[in-house]
Amino acid sequence: MRLSKKNAVVTGSSRGIGAEIARLFAREGATVVVSHRDSGPHKEEVVRSIKRAGGEALAIHCDVSDPSSVSSMYEEVEKSLGKIDVLVNSAGVSDGSLWNLPVNKTPLDAWRKVFAVDAFGTFLSTQGALKVMRKGGSVVNIASTPALAGDTEGLVYASAKGAVVSMTRMLAKSLAPGVRVNCMALGSIRTTWVDWLDRRQRDAYLSAIPMHRFGEPADVANLALFLASDESSFITGQVMVVDGGEVLR
């Protein structure tokens, strides 16, 4: 098993990509903290499915945009597990209404909302994790391909993810050699993000992807596993693209 004896926190793992990463990490031997913001049934389902498959997991509430919520989560993590080895910052705002806003109609609140979770949340959660990464560790961030290649839509998301890319590189240098920090830049992955595209948008997206399909959460989880595990022990500060070849065009 590639993560045996390791403890991992995955933020925003009540659903979507985070949930898939949590399940895969548990299958590979990690004890996983299913960090969730909602109070709905999703997180229990993720923890139950991990336990049913013979893995170890616990759910801990955390709104990554709230410093006190992040501190409480790591206090609880320390009490329950003592230390962590891996953090995946998967929490992100998914709100279709913010996607195709023209520049002159983009309210400042949209910037505050997305930056609070995607950029500041990634920072806060990483800052908290460092206090409980007793023997070093691996931080895996999530950005998106428009942050690297530009796009006509998603200005606010791409800008927040651009901050995540810079944070990855800055922290990789300052935290080496103890803690590695890498980032996955995602194209279109089949979660709620793809659900809110209309048919015309879906077709346009698919025709731009050389692999002719949307990514699956498992495609992302497989890379997260590699970056979390010791197999990537000489890799830090990197941004790896998971997009079916889309940014080649």
List interacting residues with ligand NAP (CB under 6 A): 11-12, 14-18, 36-38, 42, 62-65, 90-94, 117-118, 121, 142, 144, 186, 188-189, 191-193
| Shortest distance in whole angstroms from residue 78 CB to ligand NAP | 19
Considering the complex, state which of residue 5 and residue 200 has its C-beta at the smaller distance from ligand NAP: 200
| Shortest distance in whole angstroms from residue 20 CB to ligand NAP | 8
Written as one letter, the residue type at 196 is W
| Shortest distance in whole angstroms from residue 234 CB to ligand NAP | 25
Cα–Cα dist 144/165, whole Å = 9
36 within 8 A of 42, measured Cβ to Cβ: yes
The radius of gyration of the chain's CA atoms, rounded to the nearest angstrom, is 17
Q: Is 205 a catalytic residue?
A: no
Considering the complex, state which of residue 17 and residue 84 has its C-beta at the smaller distance from ligand NAP: 17
Instruction: State the CB neighbour count (10 A cutoff) for residue 189.
Output: 22
Q: Which of 25, 74, 115, 157 is catalytic?
A: 157
Considering the complex, state which of residue 55 and residue 217 has its C-beta at the smaller distance from ligand NAP: 217
| Shortest distance in whole angstroms from residue 214 CB to ligand NAP | 7
The alpha-helical segments, DSSP class H, found in 98-154 are: 108-114, 120-132, 146-149
Considering the complex, state which of residue 29 and residue 45 has its C-beta at the smaller distance from ligand NAP: 45
Burial 100-128, CB ≥16 within 10 A → b, else e:
eeeeeeeeeebbebbbbbbbbbbbbbbeb
Cα–Cα dist 161/168, whole Å = 10
Active site residues: 157
